[in-house]
């Protein structure tokens, strides 16, 4: 056939992921409010869509499971079953099964062998319990349970008729009637084509799309009934229609459309030109045209015409998106990077020091910056994609350990680079688990200390300068510094003498050390010494930082700061010895000239005291082991660059400043991975390479 089936599998996987994510959120909403009809309809629509798409792709186990799931939801919608926690639990098991099927398809290309018979049996048991409602016979397990037009406005037979009327009676605006009049002037025909699909049609919107393609081969569609968005969302029962301008005759479309699979019936009405009312301005020259009455077709009641107008008015809400492979964006990003490197080279060429040269250079700088911003915006994804899966996980975790937990999320619209989004999920779920297990007290303990029995965890995201900040806060017991101190001495992490001189902040930092845990007993969630060290490694690998604020008895807050982009940054170039290094501007708080009298010695360490704050000093030449270059005659101990790391400040002693520059971050490659103190490299204007300092490891 020559078709690339893998392309359809990828599309199926992407769409199914979105469907299952919405299904997870909808089931949580349904558990809180069982009478929420729009949410129930949404759950039904997703089950129906997944059944159809899985069946079309040949994933029959998924299709069969969603079919039984759909029957249960059909019974709920007909008031034959009541939504309760038990039903939601079974529906969540269905969701888990579907996610497992999807993961198998992603990893191995097929669903696997598990039929999830126990889940299907549980669903069948629910169907046996249902009671006939409103005189309808019960037990329609074998039904296809095709959805009525619930997405449009309610359900029931009356709604079907209303839709059929709306489809059969083309309500034309004055503008559309004007187009019809113009078509007749050009000796073309205008047909109102009504298509009825078979009752067994699974993917109605896909079938409608094929019909429209056939109509557009030899014509132009000027209106679809219902609207294109509703057809795409399967917001119709079995009938839909199109108004087509064409040079072909009725028989051609009757044969062409009638021969398409799953089309049961095609009715074609001829729309006539209609001159305007004598009283109406504009006459019959094709500009004015008829009012709301159709041309040669019975007009529906005025109320329906209003409905149509309302739907037209909603169109701006529909956003159009294009799926783009991340590799293509990476290529585009590399091209922008190369452009910025070339711009930097131009800045270094001084031989052509004319006004025109500088104007051109400024223009190039502006264009590259705009292009970089545009590419970055394309790569940005709302953090909502990560946050969405947490409510379900929190529900399951809280049930497992018997604590009542409410997750309050905000800032889901905050955007992060796609590569960061992929990596951030695991660290965040570690921290949320940590908050539930360690942070929140047991329910009875909360009651004793006068707290709400329901523990609250706040997950926030917001932008701050060039960073995105994510906070995980709980209203639990806070970190017990005394307990951390005792554990650290007991495990030999620090000596009891050293522990006496340590600050609370230093004890909190111990939590991020490998295999350090304060849990008294090992549970499925914690106490295995895996968690915060993994979080710290992952976040710092993304160029971010983690810090902790805590108050005993009140709660704790973990704050993650991540850079908005990992590819192009503003940096300060400095000389250390005879070598150039780059320090990210986002980490620098102040730069001061260093005088010999500023340096003090505390416990054999060099520090500088500024506004009663003690700033530890790090001489980069010694720390980086940079040899003195022979030809270098720059000043020594010239400048102190103060770098903020988490909530502390360090001073880096450099020899000389070069200046601020936009640099392209390049990885060092596999051979040079995990080099301490170095975060990457950049190519400078003169073609030389400067190393970028990793402020997280320099302390």
pLDDT of residue 674: 67
pLDDT tens sequence across 243-275: 999 888 888 888 888 888 888 888 888 887 775
Between the two ends of the chain, the Cα-to-Cα distance in Å is 62
Please give the structure tokens belonging to residue 326: 């991340």
Catalytic residue, chosen from 19, 48, 372, 430, is 48
Whether the per-residue pLDDT at 298 is higher than 80: the answer is: no
Residue 652 confidence class, pLDDT cut points 50, 70, 90:
confident
The torsion of the CA quartet 252, 254, 260, 262, rounded to 10 degrees, works out to 180
SS (HEC) of 330-390: HHHHHHHHHHHHHHHHHHHCCCCCCHHHHHHHHHHHHHHHHHHHHHHHHHEEECHHHHCCH
Per-residue pLDDT, averaged over 99-113, amounts to: 87
- Contacts for 16-22: CB closer than 8 Å, 24+ residues apart: 16/50, 16/53, 16/54, 16/98, 16/102, 17/102, 19/46, 19/49, 19/50, 20/46, 20/50, 20/95, 20/98, 20/99, 20/102, 21/388, 21/389, 22/46
Q: Is 624 helix (H, G, I), strand (E, B) or coil?
A: coil
Tell me 587's DSSP state.
Answer: G
Please give the structure tokens belonging to residue 510: 């111990």
pLDDT of residue 313: 36
pLDDT of residue 352: 61
pLDDT of residue 456: 92
Q: Report the DSSP beta bridge partners of residue 467.
A: 464, 563
70 is catalytic: yes
pLDDT tens sequence across 376-406: 778 788 888 888 888 988 988 888 888 889 9
Per-residue pLDDT, averaged over 140-161, amounts to: 37
Select the more confidently predicted residue: 99 or 646.
Answer: 99
Catalytic residue, chosen from 78, 434, 467, 696, is 434
Residue 7 confidence class, pLDDT cut points 50, 70, 90:
low
Residues 6+ apart with CB under 8 A from 513: 493, 533
Whether the per-residue pLDDT at 295 is higher than 60: the answer is: no
Q: Is 136 helix (H, G, I), strand (E, B) or coil?
A: coil
pLDDT of residue 165: 63
Maximal CA-CA distance, the chain: 102
Predicted TM-score (pTM) of the model is 0.56
Cα 74 to chain centroid, rounded = 30
pLDDT of residue 320: 60
Please give the structure tokens belonging to residue 627: 């040899």
pLDDT tens sequence across 563-612: 776 667 788 999 888 788 999 888 888 888 877 777 777 777 788 887 77
Residues 6+ apart with CB under 8 A from 512: 532, 533, 535, 536, 546
Cα 672 to chain centroid, rounded = 33
Please give the structure tokens belonging to residue 139: 């037990």
434 is catalytic: yes
Query: What's the order of all strands across the beta sheet hosting 605-610?
Result: 588-593, 639-645, 648-654, 613-619, 605-610, 599-602
Please give the structure tokens belonging to residue 56: 């079309």
Residue 280 confidence class, pLDDT cut points 50, 70, 90:
very low
pLDDT tens sequence across 503-553: 888 888 888 877 666 555 444 444 333 468 888 888 888 878 888 888 888
Catalytic residue, chosen from 70, 151, 415, 473, is 70
Describe the crossing of helices 532-541 and 418-434 by its angle, rounded to 10 degrees: 160
pLDDT of residue 673: 66
Query: What's the order of all strands across the beta sheet hosting 579-584?
Result: 656-664, 568-576, 579-584, 689-693, 678-683
74 is catalytic: no
Q: In 281-323, which ranges are continuous DSSP H helix?
A: 302-313
Q: Would you report the helix, strand and coil content of the chain in percent, each value rounded to 5? A: 45, 20, 35
Per-residue pLDDT, averaged over 327-345, amounts to: 81
Omega within 30 of 0 (cis) for the link into 510: no
Nearest to 685 by CA among 458, 429, 361, 442: 361
Q: What percentage of residues in the chain have a pLDDT greater than 90? A: 6
* CA 143 – CA 480 distance, rounded (Å): 59
User: Which secondary-structure segment (H or E) carries 457?
Assistant: strand 455-464
Do 634 and 580 form a contact (C-beta atoms < 8 A)? no
Whether the per-residue pLDDT at 292 is higher than 60: the answer is: no
């Amino acid at each position: 056939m020559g078709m690339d089936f893998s392309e359809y599998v990828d599309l199926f996987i992407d769409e199914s992921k979105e469907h299952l994510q919405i299904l997870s959120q909808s089931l949580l909403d349904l558990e809180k409010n069982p009478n929420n009809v729009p949410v129930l309809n949404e759950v039904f629509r997703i089950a129906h869509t997944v059944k159809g798409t899985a069946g079309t792709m040949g994933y029959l186990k998924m299709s069969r499971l969603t079919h039984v799931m759909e029957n249960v939801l059909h019974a709920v919608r007909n008031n034959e079953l009541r939504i309760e926690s038990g039903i939601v639990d079974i529906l969540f098991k269905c969701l888990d099964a579907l996610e497992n099927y999807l993961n198998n398809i992603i990893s191995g290309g097929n669903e696997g062998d598990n039929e999830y018979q126990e889940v299907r049996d549980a669903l069948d048991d629910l169907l046996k319990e249902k009671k006939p409602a409103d005189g309808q016979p019960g037990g329609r397990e074998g039904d296809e349970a095709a959805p009525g037009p619930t997405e449009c406005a309610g359900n029931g037979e009356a709604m079907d008729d209303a839709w059929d009327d709306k489809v059969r009676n083309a309500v034309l605006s004055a503008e559309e009637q004007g187009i019809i009049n113009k078509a007749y002037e050009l000796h073309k025909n205008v047909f109102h084509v009504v298509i009825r699909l078979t009752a067994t049609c699974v993917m109605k919107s896909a079938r409608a799309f094929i019909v429209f393609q056939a109509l557009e081969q030899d014509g132009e569609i000027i209106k679809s009934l219902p609207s294109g968005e509703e057809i795409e969302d399967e917001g119709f029962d079995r009938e839909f229609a199109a108004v087509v301008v064409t040079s072909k005759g009725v028989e051609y479309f009757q044969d062409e459309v009638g021969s398409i699979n799953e089309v049961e019936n095609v009715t074609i009405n001829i729309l006539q030109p209609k001159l305007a009312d004598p009283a109406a301005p504009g006459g019959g020259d094709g500009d004015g045209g008829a009012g709301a009455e159709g041309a040669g077709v019975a007009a529906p009641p005025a109320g329906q015409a209003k409905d149509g107008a309302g739907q037209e008015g909603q169109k701006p809400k529909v956003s159009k998106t294009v799926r783009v492979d991340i590799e293509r964006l990476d290529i585009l990003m590399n091209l922008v990077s190369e452009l910025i490197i070339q711009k930097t080279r131009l800045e270094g060429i001084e031989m052509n020091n004319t006004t025109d040269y500088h104007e051109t250079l400024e223009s190039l700088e502006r264009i590259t910056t705009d292009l970089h911003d545009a590419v970055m915006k394309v790569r940005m994804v709302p953090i909502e994609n990560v946050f969405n899966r947490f409510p379900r996980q929190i529900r399951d975790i809280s049930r497992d350990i018997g604590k009542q937990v409410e997750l309050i999320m905000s800032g889901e619209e905050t955007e992060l680079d796609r590569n960061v989004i992929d990596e951030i999920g695991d660290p965040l779920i570690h921290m949320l688990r940590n908050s539930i297990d360690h942070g929140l007290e047991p329910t009875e303990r909360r009651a004793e200390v006068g707290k709400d029995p329901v523990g609250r965890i706040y997950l926030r995201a917001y932008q701050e300068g060039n960073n995105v900040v994510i906070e995980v806060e709980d209203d639990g017991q806070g970190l017990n510094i005394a307990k951390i101190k005792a554990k650290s001495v007991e495990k030999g992490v620090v000596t009891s003498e050293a522990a006496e001189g340590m600050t609370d902040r230093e004890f909190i930092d111990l939590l991020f050390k490998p295999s350090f845990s304060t849990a008294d007993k090992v549970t499925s969630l914690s106490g295995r010494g895996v968690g915060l060290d993994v979080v710290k490694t992952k976040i710092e690998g993304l160029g971010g930082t983690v810090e902790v604020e805590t108050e005993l008895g009140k709660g704790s807050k973990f704050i993650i700061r991540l850079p908005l982009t990992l590819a192009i940054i503003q940096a300060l170039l400095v000389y250390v010895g005879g070598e150039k290094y780059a320090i990210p501007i986002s980490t620098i708080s102040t730069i001061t000239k260093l005088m010999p009298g500023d340096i003090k010695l505390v416990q054999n360490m060099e520090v500088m005291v500024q506004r009663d704050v003690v700033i530890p000093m790090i001489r980069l030449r010694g720390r980086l082991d940079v040899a003195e270059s022979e030809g270098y005659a720059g000043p020594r101990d010239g400048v102190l660059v103060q770098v903020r790391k988490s909530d502390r400040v360090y001073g880096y002693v450099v020899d000389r400043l070069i200046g601020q520059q936009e640099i392209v971050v390049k990885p060092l490659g596999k051979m040079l991975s995990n080099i301490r103190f170095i975060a990457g490299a950049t190519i400078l204007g003169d073609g030389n390479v400067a190393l970028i300092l990793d402020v997280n490891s320099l302390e």
